[in-house]
Amino acid sequence: MRPPQSVRISTPFAKLKNSMTKRTAFITGASRGIGRACALALAAAGHRVILAARAVDKLEEVAAQVRAAGGEAHVVSLDLASADSIKAAFSSASKDFGRIDILVNNAGVTKDGLAVRMKLDDFESVLKTNLTGAFLCCQQVLAPMMKERWGRIINISSVVGETGNAGQANYVSSKAGLIGLTKSLAQEMASRNITVNAVAPGFIETDMTSVLSQDVKDNMLNRIPLKRLGTADDVAAAVVFLASEQSGYITGTVIDVNGGMYM
């Protein structure tokens, strides 16, 4: 039975929860790390989540976790390096679940090396997955969002997309490109009430960073004023906010989640 109105909105938090609209969120790279944390947090905020990546078995594990917590999750196979796979993933998602309201372009790869020796394929393949892939995902959701006059696109960039980083010319180009894409789309889409923002994580503890040596990690830590590495949940909190109704007057911006390592 519905509690009386005065009880339902008795605290500011309850007020916020009562005003929340259930949306459908599509998260790329949701099988682990930051994408997984975003999926769990968006589901906890009351949204239906569509989890996408190449490893479907890993996505099923995340989906099971969402469902165990009372949320709704669906899994689609997606390879961002293939335009056909992107089309197929979105057409299957929208056939089954209708319009996508929130897109989190999170998936990303690295192939580090000094520019002087970097193979063309190592440069192009990182751009293809991280930047072209994200662009094609945006294209898949824009028309239905425009029709609905509501949408949230959140691109996961990186602190190095703002600062540059030796040994990552390909990755940094893709992450800086995502910021340019964010600002351009934000301008194109603002009149349709679609916001487009980027989140730039600093050094976050995930599989991507677990391969770095202790020396590199210690060196990073020295450059972080908050004196700790970030967690995937730190990034997810910013994503949930940018996906919410409450962020509706924020577009074309980059939220840094980096412990102060770049201000």
Residues classed as catalytic: 171
Count of positions on this chain that bind ligand NAP (CB under 6 A): 29
Interface with ligand NAP, residue 125, by CB under 6 A: no
Q: Which of residues 23-62 bind ligand NAP (CB under 6 A)?
A: 28-29, 31-35, 53-55, 58
Least distance from ligand NAP to the Cβ atom of residue 70, Å: 23
Nearer to ligand NAP, 148 or 205 (CB): 205
The amino acid at 147: K
Give the one residue of 42, 43, 73, 78 binding ligand NAP; rule: CB under 6 A.
78
Per-residue contact flags (x/-) with ligand NAP for residues 203 to 222, judged by CB under 6 A: xx-xxxx-------------
Task: Provide the 10 A C-beta neighbour count for residue 213.
Answer: 8
Nearer to ligand NAP, 129 or 170 (CB): 129
Contacts of 4 (CB under 8 A, 6+ apart): none
Least distance from ligand NAP to the Cβ atom of residue 106, Å: 5
Least distance from ligand NAP to the Cβ atom of residue 74, Å: 16
The amino acid at 31: S
The count of residues in the chain is 263
Nearer to ligand NAP, 45 or 107 (CB): 107
Interface with ligand NAP, residue 90, by CB under 6 A: no
The residues that touch ligand NAP, with contacts defined as CB under 6 A, are 28-29, 31-35, 53-55, 58, 78-81, 106-109, 129, 156, 158, 201, 203-204, 206-209
